[in-house]
Amino acid sequence: MTTTSVTPTPSGAPSGASQPLLEIKDLEITFTTSSGPVKGVRSANLEVYPGETVAIVGESGSGKSTTAMAIAHLLAKNGAITGGHILFEGRDITHVSEKEIRVLRGDQVGLVPQDPMSNLNPMWKVGSQITETLAANGIAKGAEAKKRAVELLEEAGLPDAQRRAEQYPHEFSGGMKQRALIAMGLAARPKLLVADEPTSALDVTVQQQILDHLDHLTGELGVAVLLITHDLGLAAERAQHLVVMYKGQVVESGPALELLQDPQHPYTKRLISAAPSLASRRLVSSAERAEIREQAQESASSEAGRGAETDQDAVIEVQNLTKSFPIRGKVPWRSTPFLAVDDVSFSLRRGTTTAIVGESGSGKSTVAQMVLRLLEPTSGRVLFEGKDIADLHGSTVKALRRRVQPIFQNPYGTLDPMYSIFTTIEEPMRIHGIGDSKSREEKVRDLLDKVALPSAMMRRYPNELSGGQRQRVAIARALALDPEVVICDEAVSALDVLVQAQVLELLNDLQAELGLSYLFITHDLAVVRQIADHTLVMEKGKVVEQGTTDEVFHSPQQDYTKRLLAAIPGGSIPLAGAETIDVEAPVGLADETGGEGQGGPDDIVDPFAQAGHV
Amino acid sequence: MPSDALKSRRPRTEHWVAPLAETPLQEVDAADTSGTPRSLWAEAGRSLIRNPVFVISALLILFVLFVAAFPQVFTGMDPRHGDLSLANRKPDAEHPFGTSRQGYDIMARTFWGARTSVIIGFFAMIGSTLIGGTIGALAGYLGGWFDEVISRITDIFFAVPLILGAIVVATRLGEMNLWTVIAVLSVFGWTNVARIMRGAVISTKSQDYVTSSVALGASSPAVLLKHVIPNAIAPVIVTATVNLGVFIVAEATLSFLGVGLPTSAVSWGGDISDARDALRTQPSMLFYPSVALAITVLSFIMLGDAVRDALDPKARKR
């Protein structure tokens, strides 16, 4: 039911086949900040034709979301359109009244927001929230709206929609919430759907299914889609036309495949070469690395005290590691054990990288916590150089801490905001009483140099640094004690692709230089291909597949691995100089569809949150 | 997938590239080393100085502190010198605020009264913050049964209203002095600090930098003192500032009710209590100590608000 409350005012050409649905001309958006006006978007141009999918690709801060939000007049309070025009069906909507834009919103332009977790009101039933949308757009009311809401949820691919409509958002998994939001976005049958990073918060397999469904649905309804994404691979796979934004400007636009295969602007070239899903292979040639490994082995073999049954080459060996958390049942005294990690064994060889990959809830981070001895295993052993780390006490634990260092995911949480960069990097040396203040300062300078930060940085505070720089400081801190093993828990997941590539490169160089061994925990298979020698695939606490990275990528044995590989966005797009991932996804759903709040892969109850409540 | 008919609507499948001159490429994640380094506290300080509420309240507080330290600068009269022959005078040249029923000079009493209020407010704030801060930090950091027990004890104290508890203890103790009043206020006033400290510590201790520090080999007390408390202290400072005002009011209330400081002490609460009968005949007797009390308390509460604005990371952009 398409309502025509906004009649296009014919500006020149009648609404023929060649008229774009949405046209953005020389758009300029200015934000008023405490340090003066800042141009968020400058001279941006783009067109969306009826029924086509256009993707805006860019890093955080490139102005891609700002551009999209400007269409629906949803800019932040301090932002304003200071130049250019936005035309919808030929009508200039740049400066129309709030009332007119409200008619346009929802009715003509639907929105799918980024974060499914925070965009549904937890106090309302999902069905009611869609009913509200329908009523607000004057489409349906009362019982009719309720019926329509169920139909919409069904259409968005939610099984058992009748019952689901009566549930609250917390009973939905992330993927299901996103489906509900898509249902809301399409409720009024808009002509244009603006999807702002619709699947960035979801696991790859869920992402793939949601996007497949969205493609199918918008194709069937003839809805044009403006997709905002940071993922070039995903954009290329989903859109016919790409618009690349950089620092508030459109630098290149063109047909998706052409743009990828023949990028013109240096920024696009840089983006394509950095996108892990597109151009991935091990960063350093294997021959060079084998040499490093040999050296590391030689230096290690002189050390004594190894158990006979352990892998001679392994710096860390994990044997039958299991961790179960008690999950509170319906009554407090009856808790059921939840196996977060189930019988995991692997070894990390000196000077190499072992990656543990899995979706959220697979138990990969729990393994990292146990290897770091931040968490006590329920059973099984972690051997560091042949010694069980559970047997260490007091000063020997401190010695272990010195040799095994972590790097965590969130660049904003990993540095103490009260400490300057110098104090942060110096802290480990102070704790272990290494050197005097002068030699420590020398070392801090040296470490900053290693992570390619100017030593002038050391008087600064974390709030003055970008995410990538913070992560580099975290790496410098981890290296301050000259560790042998570094555990990277999603260390690059929160970074933009270019910065991510830079940090991966850095980690790789440091490995070659210092003979480090990495245990790399990630959800991103594309990153694994760039950094790892060995790969473990985990699903629901179990290792489902392990082998060399090449084996896992070229001949995956398990359905789950195949599904993960097939879900890498843009993996099958042929590019010069890059190998493609050509794996057929096995039939069957990986999604949350069967779940009763707990079924989905993205819906495993967080054991830490649970344990914290006891 | 859209049908071919729809796809073909785009007239030209043009490939457009921005001129490089207009879109210069910058180094990936270039480090900006211009400007002076700023810590979070320095940032907070900067935003405080630009906040008129802070400037006004800080000036008022400085004035109050100055009065408390040097009341003799403002008045030559002895606040304890009562001359019944001069009782109940209206303001005149000799006694600009008038005199009380006991023949005290009200101006002298008002200025000297600041000292009592400031000392009690300040030390009760320190006492309650130390008690509440320590208890809250330990409960939040250690968790488990310790937290359970401490939280219930906090609840018990929380359930007793500050004034009621103070009255009960004061009547049991009999004659009070400055330090017993401070002790009583501290013992009944630490609960909100403890609760806020506990909450802040719990949210801080799950941060990655705390885990990092543990993984670096730092001991538990070191982690608590060096990382957790410095990052959890901001809301406690805000509460403590507001509490200071609350304690001044509480002291005045106790003195007003006659269970606080002895009548011989110079205190706004006592003076307000003495003046209530003269409200209709000589309002100036009530007016001056009340205004002094109101200004002092208001400026501390305003300061608390301004500090909260400055320290709240959500209110400030990254």
Tens-place pLDDT, residues A398-409: 888 889 999 988
Q: Flag if A266 and B25 touch (Cβ within 8 Å).
A: yes
Helix/strand/coil (H, E, C) string of A370-439? HHCCCCCCCEEEEEECCEEHHHCCHHHHHHHHHHEEEECCCCCCCCCCCCCHHHHHHHHHHHCCCCCHHH
Q: What are residue B133's phi and psi, to 5 degrees? A: -65, -45
What share of chain B in percent tops pLDDT 90?
27
**Distance separating alpha carbons of residues B230 and B207, to the nearest angstrom:** 13
What pLDDT does residue A581 have? 57
What pLDDT does residue A348 have? 92
| pLDDT 10s digits, B120-176 | 999 999 999 999 999 999 999 998 899 999 999 999 988 888 888 888 887 888 777
Is residue A97 packed enough to be buried (19+ CB in 10 Å), middle (13-18) or exposed (0-12)? Answer: exposed
One-letter amino acid for residue A379 of the chain: S
What pLDDT does residue A291 have? 59
What share of chain A in percent tops pLDDT 70?
83
What pLDDT does residue A574 have? 62
Q: Which two tokens stand for residue A16?
A: 């023929």
What share of chain B in percent tops pLDDT 70?
92
CB within 8 A of A492, min separation 6: which ones? A471, A500, A503, A504, A522, A527
Is residue A96 packed enough to be buried (19+ CB in 10 Å), middle (13-18) or exposed (0-12)? Answer: middle
Distance from CA of B48 to the nearest CA of A (A): 14
In this predicted structure, which of A100-104, A401-405, A530-534, B308-312 has the lowest mean pLDDT?
Answer: B308-312
What pLDDT does residue B85 have? 80
| pLDDT 10s digits, A267-309 | 988 888 887 655 445 555 444 555 555 555 555 444 433 443 4
Interfacial B residues in 29-48 facing A (CB < 8 Å): 29, 31-33, 37-41, 43
Of the partner residues A408, A415, A417, the one whose CB lies closest to the CB of residue B211: A408
A474 to chain B: which residues are within 8 Å by CB?
212
Q: Flag if A416 and B231 touch (Cβ within 8 Å).
A: yes
Mean pLDDT value across chain A: 81
Of the partner residues B1, B16, B317, the one whose CB lies closest to the CB of residue A215: B1
B227 to chain A: which residues are within 8 Å by CB?
416, 418
B212 has a pLDDT exceeding 70: yes
Please give the full DSSP string across A285-343, using - where no structure is assigned: -HHHHHHHHHHHHHHHHT-----TTS-TTEEEEEEEEEEEEEEE-SSTT-EEEEEEEEE
Q: Is B76 at the interface with chain A, CB within 8 A?
A: no
Q: Is ipTM > 0.85 here?
A: no
pTM over 0.80: no
Q: Within a 13 Å sphere around the CA of A126, how many CA atoms are in the beta-carbon half?
A: 30
pLDDT band at B38 (very low <50, low <70, confident <90, very high): confident
Q: Is B93 at the interface with chain A, CB within 8 A?
A: no
